[in-house]
């Protein structure tokens, strides 16, 4: 059971990295094309996808980043799920 949880977390982290990279590309594009309505829509959709993935990771493992607010939990410093 833990193995599938680790695999799922790993897959979610890969998805988060992919969405983050796409967002960086989109932001660079929007810097020079701020009136592109399609790009703005894609940016908003990517932001929503990122939020959903982060929420799934937080449900499974706690906060994704150390600077996120703690939701009644203690951060396991140095023991994040992806470093175990």
**What pLDDT, on a 0 to 100 scale, did the predictor assign at position 58?**
82
What pLDDT, on the 0 to 100 scale, is given for residue 1?
41
Confidence at residue 84, expressed as pLDDT on a 0 to 100 scale: 46
Q: Burial-class residue 53 by CB neighbours within 10 Å (0-12, 13-18, 19+).
A: buried
Question: pLDDT, tens digit, for every residue of 13-37?
Answer: 999 999 999 999 999 999 999 889 9
Structural domain spans, the chain: 2-83
CA-to-CA distance for 84 and 79, rounded, in angstroms? 6
Give the global pTM. Answer: 0.68
Q: What is the dihedral of CA 60, 66, 67, 68, to 10 degrees?
A: 10
């Amino acid at each position: 059971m833990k193995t599938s949880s680790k695999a799922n977390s790993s897959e979610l982290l890969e998805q988060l990295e992919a969405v983050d990279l796409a967002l960086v590309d989109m932001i660079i594009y929007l810097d020079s094309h701020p009136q592109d309505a399609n790009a703005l829509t894609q940016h908003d959709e990517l932001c929503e996808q990122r939020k959903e993935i982060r929420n799934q990771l937080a449900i499974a493992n706690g906060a994704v980043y150390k600077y996120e607010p703690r939701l009644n939990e203690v951060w396991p410093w140095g023991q994040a799920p992806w470093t175990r």
